[in-house]
Chain A
Amino acid sequence: MLTVLDPGILTTIQDAGRWGYQQYGVPVSGAMDLPALRVANQLVRNSPDEAALEIHSPVALETNAPHLIGLTGAYARFAINGRAMPMWMSVFARAGSTIEIAPKRTGGWLYLAIHGGIDAPRVLGSKSTFLRGKFGGMEGRAHAAGDQIVIGASTIGDLVAAAGRGADVRSMRLSAIDGDESPTTNIRVILGPHDDWFAPEAIAALTREDFIVSETADRMGYRLRGAMLARQRAQELISCGVPLGAIQVPPDGQPIVLMADHQTTGGYPIIATVIGEDIARVAQSVPGDRLNFQIIALNETPHVT
């Protein structure tokens, strides 16, 4: 078990998402940076889609038992009992240890996986917290001080075996999420489904200009600032299902990239959609960062295995 000493803000339980319920208006939710969640779980010998703590601001936790933990995601300060610990590795924390985690840049997403997984109830097939719907995770809410996070079954033997594998997994660090702070992040997109709603100049501007992540960036979507993406059709789009990564353009011409908690349907045309592999890069961008969109063809998309 872990006790929450300092909950930070927006610390929630997230797994690989709640698939299959969008027809009832239920968003998929799940980790904002799915590859980072999966690596964190692999570091501690969990199933890759197991639930972990998603951390967005400084938190402090206390272990009530020995635990094997792994921290991935955005760059962070990570310490156990005041001693700096490496991210992207399996780490033992003895019972009674204090774990402190603080993202180095405000806006990044971190994943703390614990061997055994988080013992939260599955709601509609997933442990993910959906804050607006007030369900999933810890009673449908962000963590509060004093929360007891129950960890799934593990034995010391498992922990030792898992620790032995930790070093193997260290090399699994993904280049896509290595936290590079280069001025501009390249994001690959596929045009459409509503690219024919936009003027050719808008399509050109989408790739020519950089777009800046605004302060309005949360688990639902990231609003961007940049070139005005003008439509060539004046009529209203009738609402349709929208996928993760959709770049919606409201009438003000400033795009919004839809993220994990996005509404299932929307009424703004989608000029292009971020490919699955690059969603994490958008997620780990923080207000002020620049995104550069690159249009690729479907047959150029990487096949994740």
Chain B
Amino acid sequence: MIHPQPRLLPAGDAALLVEFADEIDDAINDRVHALAHALRAQARPEIRDLVPAYSSLLVCYDPRRASFTEIRAVLQNALESLQTYTSPEPRRVEIPTRYGGEFGPDLAFVAQHNDITEDDVIRLHTTVIYRVYFVGFAPGFAYLGSVPEQIAAPRLETPRTHVPAGSVGIAGRQTGIYPMESPGGWRIIGRTDLSLFDPNCDPPALLRPGDRVRFVSIGQSGNP
């Protein structure tokens, strides 16, 4: 459901959650990022951090510098002028990916699960231009959506303890890339050599909210 008016909810005494909807919707996600952009442009010292997600924006503020009521007023004003706001042209990022074999141990599963060939999975995964809804879970981990229904796949019942950095996975209709080695339960279909996160760069993440992402197959490893 998309709320007729965004809900401004207290999240403790140092954060406020702006909730536009309780569903995933591209136009709503655009508004989330537009609001974050507008607030960033205001560069208010009392606002310490902004956490955009699918359909909400968490605004972290310093309660020593502003009250909930004051922050709420700032947001109400920003939301009113948002009506005419047009988001900047999104960046386009290509992810060169090796599918299958040692790099994509679950490619065969995703194909079998959907009763299609591994080549079909690769073709379908590389056809779509994905939206970065937001970055969360781990540094640099972008929530990308949505993969075609024909290659959707459930998570592993038992997550792997080590998923290598650069692994490209599918969970339901989401797809994403593990920026660093970590445990994980997504179905891994390929791997990229791109560095997704570098704490010594600013910004540290390759993918940013609002980016448009396309995977490009640069060959299959281990498969003839």
Q: For the complex formed, measure the closest distance between the CB of A32 and the CB atoms of chain B, giving whole angstroms.
A: 16
Asked whether any CB of chain B lies closer than 8 Å to the CB of A28, the reply is yes
Asked whether any CB of chain B lies closer than 8 Å to the CB of A22, the reply is yes
Asked whether any CB of chain A lies closer than 8 Å to the CB of B135, the reply is yes
Q: For the complex formed, measure the closest distance between the CB of A2 and the CB atoms of chain B, giving whole angstroms.
A: 25
A276 contacts B53, C-beta separation under 8 Å: no
Q: Which residues of B contact A22 (CB under 8 A)?
A: 49-51, 58, 60
Please give me the residue from chain B that is nearest to A121 by CB atom: B200
B64 contacts A304, C-beta separation under 8 Å: yes
Say which residue of A21, A265, A275, A298 sits within 8 Å of B204 (CB atoms): A21
Contacts A22-B60, A193-B17 given; indicate if A243 touches B12 (C-beta within 8 A): yes
Say which residue of A133, A189, A240 sits within 8 Å of B17 (CB atoms): A240
Given the complex of chains A and B, what is the CA–CA distance between A239 and B143 in angstroms? Answer: 10
Asked whether any CB of chain A lies closer than 8 Å to the CB of B11, the reply is yes
Q: Which residues of A contact B182 (CB under 8 A)?
A: 132
B55 contacts A238, C-beta separation under 8 Å: yes
Say which residue of B36, B48, B205 sits within 8 Å of A24 (CB atoms): B205
A298 contacts B10, C-beta separation under 8 Å: yes
Q: Which residues of B contact A235 (CB under 8 A)?
A: 22
A25 contacts B139, C-beta separation under 8 Å: yes
Contact digits for B180-192, partner A, Cβ 8 Å, 1 yes 0 no: 1010000000000
Q: Which residues of B contact A273 (CB under 8 A)?
A: 10-13, 15
Contact digits for A242-258, partner B, Cβ 8 Å, 1 yes 0 no: 11111000000000000
Contact digits for A265-293, partner B, Cβ 8 Å, 1 yes 0 no: 10000100111100000000000000000
Q: Which residues of B contact A124 (CB under 8 A)?
A: 199, 202, 204
Given the complex of chains A and B, what is the CA–CA distance between A304 and B67 in angstroms? Answer: 11
Task: Give the number of residues in B that approach A within 8 Å (Cβ atoms).
Answer: 50
Given the complex of chains A and B, what is the CA–CA distance between A27 and B49 in angstroms? Answer: 11
A25 contacts B205, C-beta separation under 8 Å: yes
Interface centre among B13, B53, B134 (most CB of A within 10 A): B13
Chain A facing B: main interface SS: loop
A190 contacts B13, C-beta separation under 8 Å: yes
Asked whether any CB of chain A lies closer than 8 Å to the CB of B56, the reply is yes
Contacts A238-B54, A240-B54, A304-B64 given; indicate if A133 touches B22 (C-beta within 8 A): no
Q: Which residues of B contact A135 (CB under 8 A)?
A: 199
Given the complex of chains A and B, what is the CA–CA distance between A12 and B79 in angstroms? Answer: 41
Q: For the complex formed, measure the closest distance between the CB of A12 and the CB atoms of chain B, giving whole angstroms.
A: 15
Contact digits for A209-244, partner B, Cβ 8 Å, 1 yes 0 no: 000000000000000000000000001011111111
Please give me the residue from chain A that is nearest to B24 by CB atom: A238
A246 contacts B51, C-beta separation under 8 Å: no
Asked whether any CB of chain B lies closer than 8 Å to the CB of A170, the reply is no
Interface centre among B23, B36, B137 (most CB of A within 10 A): B137
Please give me the residue from chain A that is nearest to B136 by CB atom: A265
Instruction: Give the contact-size bracket for chain A.
Output: 35 or more
Please give me the residue from chain A that is nearest to B205 by CB atom: A24
Q: Which residues of B contact A237 (CB under 8 A)?
A: 22
Given the complex of chains A and B, what is the CA–CA distance between A273 and B60 in angstroms? Answer: 13
Q: Which residues of A contact B143 (CB under 8 A)?
A: 239
Q: Which residues of B contact A19 (CB under 8 A)?
A: 48-49, 60
Q: Which residues of A contact B205 (CB under 8 A)?
A: 24-25
Given the complex of chains A and B, what is the CA–CA distance between A270 and B16 in angstroms? Answer: 13
A264 contacts B15, C-beta separation under 8 Å: no
Q: For the complex formed, measure the closest distance between the CB of B219 and the CB atoms of chain A, giving whole angstroms.
A: 29
Asked whether any CB of chain B lies closer than 8 Å to the CB of A134, the reply is yes
Asked whether any CB of chain A lies closer than 8 Å to the CB of B163, the reply is no
Contact digits for A103-136, partner B, Cβ 8 Å, 1 yes 0 no: 0000000000000000000011000000011111
Asked whether any CB of chain A lies closer than 8 Å to the CB of B52, the reply is yes
A244 contacts B49, C-beta separation under 8 Å: no
Contacts A19-B49, A25-B140 given; indicate if A193 touches B199 (C-beta within 8 A): no
Say which residue of A191, A263, A275 sits within 8 Å of B138 (CB atoms): A263
Contacts A240-B53, A241-B56, A265-B137 given; indicate if A276 touches B200 (C-beta within 8 A): no
Q: Which residues of A contact B141 (CB under 8 A)?
A: 25
- B interface list, Cβ under 8 A from A: 9-15, 17, 19, 22-24, 36, 48-58, 60, 63-64, 67-68, 134-141, 143, 179-180, 182, 197, 199-200, 202-205, 208-209
Q: List 9 A-B contacts (CB under 8 A).
A: A25-B140, A26-B199, A190-B10, A192-B11, A193-B19, A239-B134, A241-B57, A245-B12, A298-B67
- A interface list, Cβ under 8 A from B: 19-28, 123-124, 132-136, 189-193, 235, 237-246, 263-265, 270, 273-276, 298, 301, 303-305
- Having A24-B140, A263-B136, A264-B137, one finds 10 other A-B pairs with CB under 8 Å, namely A23-B36, A190-B13, A238-B22, A239-B136, A241-B136, A264-B51, A265-B53, A265-B137, A298-B13, A303-B64
The 9 residue pairs across chains A and B that have the minimum distance between CB atoms: A241-B58, A241-B51, A265-B136, A273-B12, A193-B9, A243-B15, A24-B205, A135-B199, A301-B13
